[in-house]
Structure formats: structure tokens, C-alpha cells
Amino acid sequence: MCGCGTRTNFSWWQVTAATNKVEAFNGFSDWVRFGQRGMVAHNDPVEQDKDLRFTSLLSNLVILHNTLDRTLPGIFATDYAERLEAARRRLTSGSLGEE
């Protein structure tokens, strides 16, 4: 050992894949904050930190919204409300001894 640090088990393609994901997220975040046209509005580090956190939060919320839009219709049937009401009626009538 040369004492230069610890050896990791990451290969170059894992590092490249992770870098590409981060760069894609950063590009998406830039698109989300299009209103500022990529300009820093304040020279105050506290305001810059708030801007960065808000942009990251907004980007993550957009991603979550799109994910839910794509997955929930497949999870819940289109007649979900009717099926739920029918199940309630069956449970209510069954628990009272009525058939």
C-alpha cells in the first residue's frame, strides 16, 4: 500500500452512469427555472442557497408528479369509486346479516 487512499470497487462505467444522471437532473433543473434565464438574481450567498434548494425541490416535485401521473392510472381502475362503493355495500350488508 502506498497510503494514497482507499481503493473503491467502482468501475468507470458506474461513475459515468452516475455522472450522466446528475448532469441530466441539472439540465432538467435549469429547464425548470427558465424564468431567471440561468442568471443569479442576488450576489448574497444565503439567497443563492435558497434559490438552489427551491429549484431542487421544485424539480423533484415535478418528477414526482410525472411519476404519479404515469403510475396511478395503472394501479387504480377507472371505475375505482364504483368498485369501492360496491365493496362498502357488500361489507355493510354482510356484517348486518342481510344478504
The C-alpha cell 424564468 sits at 35
pLDDT tens figures, 29-74: 888 887 666 666 678 889 888 888 999 999 999 999 888 878 776 6
**Contact 41/47 with Cβ under 8 angstroms?**
yes
If one compares 77 and 96, the residue with the highest pLDDT of the two is 77
pLDDT tens figures, 12-31: 888 888 888 889 988 888 88
From first CA to last CA, the distance across the chain in angstroms is 79
65: its cell numbers: 408528479
**Contact 56/29 with Cβ under 8 angstroms?**
yes
Instruction: Place 2 in a pLDDT band, splitting at 50, 70 and 90.
Output: low
The residue ranges of every structural domain in the chain are: 46-99
The pTM for the full model equals 0.57
Q: What is the pLDDT of residue 58?
A: 93
